[in-house]
Chain A
Amino acid sequence: MVTAGVRPVVVVTGASGGVGRGIAIACGAAGWSVWVAARRSVEGRRVAEEVTAAGGSGNFVACDVGDGGSVASALALVVEQEGQLTGVVHNATSGRSPHPVVAADVPMGALRDHVVVSVRGAYFLAQHAHPHLVASRGSLVLLTSEAGFQGTRRLAPYAAVKAAVRGLARSWAREWGPDGVRVNCVAPLADSPALAEAMAADPTMAERVLGRHPMGRLGDPVDDVGPVVRFLLSDEARYVTGATVMVDGGNAPIT
C-alpha cells in the first residue's frame, strides 16, 4: 500500500482540464508525482506545470484511453521513469458527454464513443495497471456521476456509462482486494468546462442542478473534489474499497 515516506506516483486520465486537472493539482499539492494523461498535449503539459508549481512533480504523458496500445505505453513509461505506480484515476469521458440527446435517436457511433472512453478506457487501465498496483498495493479510482445513479432525461448515454463504471469498480474491489489493491468511485458535481457546456446546451439544467442544492454552489475541482480523490489514493483510505463517494455538496439524495 501507499505508505508514509514513499512518494506516491499517480496517473490521472483526462487531466488536461476540468475535474481531472483539479485532481492532479490536489495530488501535486501533497508532494506527489502526478502524470497528466491526456490526448491534448499543450493543455496537458500546462497542467503538469501547475502540479509542479503546487509542490508536486508534474509530468505529461500522451494517452488515448480508448486505445489499449496507448494506455499500455503510457503506463509503461510511467513505471520506467518512476519505478512504481501507486494509483490510477480514470476521469476521461467522451467529448459528447455534455451534449443533450433524445435516447431513441442516439446513433450507435455516438453510443460507442461514450462506451469506448468511459468503460473500455476503464478496462484498459485496469488491465494494464493491475500488475503495477499489485506490486505497490495501490489504488484505482474511477470517476462516476450522480447521473450514474439517478439517470438523466437528456444525457442518457452519459448516465449509462457512468453507472457501468460503478458496477466494474464494485466487482474489481472484490477481485483485487486479496492482492491489496483498492478500487473506488467518486461522483463529483464540479464547476468544469464540461458541466458549463451541458448547462449552456440545456437552459433548464442550471436550475435543476442548483435550484435545490443544499450548499447552493458547484464544487471546485482543485479544492473540493481533488482532495477526496487524493484521500482514496492514499494510505489513509487503506480500509476503503468498493465504495462510491459522492462529492456533490449533498446534491444527490443518495446515502
Chain B
Amino acid sequence: MIETPWVVGTRPARPLAEGLGTGLHELPPVVLDSEWSRAPVIEEWQEGERAAPAVDRAVVAVWPEVREPCSVVDLDLAGWTARLETDFALWFAALAATGARCAPGGRVVAVVDRPEGKDSAGWALESASADAVEVMVRSLAQVHQDRGVGLHVVTTSARLSGAPPAALAEVVGAVALLLSAGAGVATAVIRAGSGW
C-alpha cells in the first residue's frame, strides 16, 4: 500500500491526481515568449519548493491542454515557444525541484504524453518533450541514487490519441506500480494507457 503521493503539475493533470486519490499542486500557469520573459515566475516557484518539507512519494505531470497535431513548417515562433519551450522549462524545473525535495528512499514518477512512433507525424514537439523528460529523469536518477531515491517515467499516448477515460486508469495503475517499486529500482520507463 503506497502513501498518498504529492502530485505537482499543470491544471489538465487534475484527473490524474484525482485518480491517485489526492489533489493537484499546480505549477504556475506560465506561457513563455521567445525571450522567456516570464521565466522568473518559474524560478519563484522553484525557490518556494526549496523551502518546502520533504515528500516521500511524488508525481510530476506537466500536461498541456491537448492540442491538434501540427507541422513545424507552419508553426510560428510564438507557437513554438508556447508549445515546446514552455513545457520543457516547466518539466525541467518541476522534476529538478521535486527530485531534490524527495526524501531519502522516496520515489518520483513523471507522467508524460508520448505519441506512438508510427503516429508521430505532426507530433514532433510532443515527441521531443517526451524524449527530453525521459532523459531528464535518467539524469536526476543518477543525481539522487545515492540517497536511494528512485525516479521513473510513465509515457502515454492516451491523451493525444483521444483514448477513452478507461485509459487513464491504466496510467494511474502504472504510476502506482512505480511509486511502490523497490529501492533497487533506480529508474524505469513504462508505457501505459496506449492500447486503445
Contacts and interface: CB of A to CB of B under 8 A. Distances in A.
A152 B136 contact: no
B122 interface: yes
Nearest to B119: A174
Contact of B142 (A148, A152, A164): A152
Contacts of A163: 128, 131-132, 134-136
Interface stretch (B38-46, B161-169, B170-178): B38-46
Nearest to B114: A167
A153 B75 CA distance: 33
B120 A170 contact: yes
Interface stretch (B4-12, B13-21, B56-64, B94-102): B94-102
B143 A103 contact: yes
Nearest to B74: A127
Interface string B117-156: 1101111111111111011111111110000000000000
Interface in A133-178: 147-153, 155-157, 159-168, 170-172, 174-175
Nearest to B88: A115
A123 B88 CA distance: 15
A151 B142 contact: yes
A172 B139 contact: no
A49 B48 CA distance: 53
B73 A130 contact: yes
Give chain A's interface secondary structure class. helix
A108 interface: yes
Given A115-B88, A156-B96, A174-B120, A123 B134 contact: no
B142 to A, nearest CB: 4
Contacts of B193: none
A152 to B, nearest CB: 6
**Interface hub of A102, A148, A153 (most chain B Cβ within 10 A):** A153
B72 A126 contact: yes
Contacts, number: 143
A157 B137 CA distance: 11
Interface residues of B, number: 51
Main secondary structure on B side of the interface with A: helix
Contacts of B50: 104
B127 A104 contact: no
A156 B139 contact: yes
A40 B70 CA distance: 34
Contact of B136 (A149, A156, A165): A156
B139 A108 contact: no
Contacts of A156: 92, 96, 136, 139-140, 143
Nearest to A242: B117
A70 B80 CA distance: 17
Contacts of A162: 135
A107 interface: yes
A171 B100 contact: no
A120 interface: yes
A171 B36 contact: no
B184 to A, nearest CB: 19
B188 interface: no
A151 B138 CA distance: 5
B106 interface: no
Contacts of A120: 80-81, 85
A95 interface: no
23 contacts: A104-B50, A108-B39, A108-B89, A108-B93, A111-B89, A120-B80, A127-B75, A130-B73, A151-B135, A152-B139, A153-B139, A156-B140, A159-B135, A160-B136, A164-B128, A168-B72, A170-B127, A171-B115, A171-B120, A171-B123, A171-B128, A174-B121, A175-B71
Interface of B: 36, 39-40, 42-43, 46, 50, 71-73, 75, 77, 80-81, 84-85, 88-89, 92-93, 95-97, 99-100, 115, 117-118, 120-132, 134-143
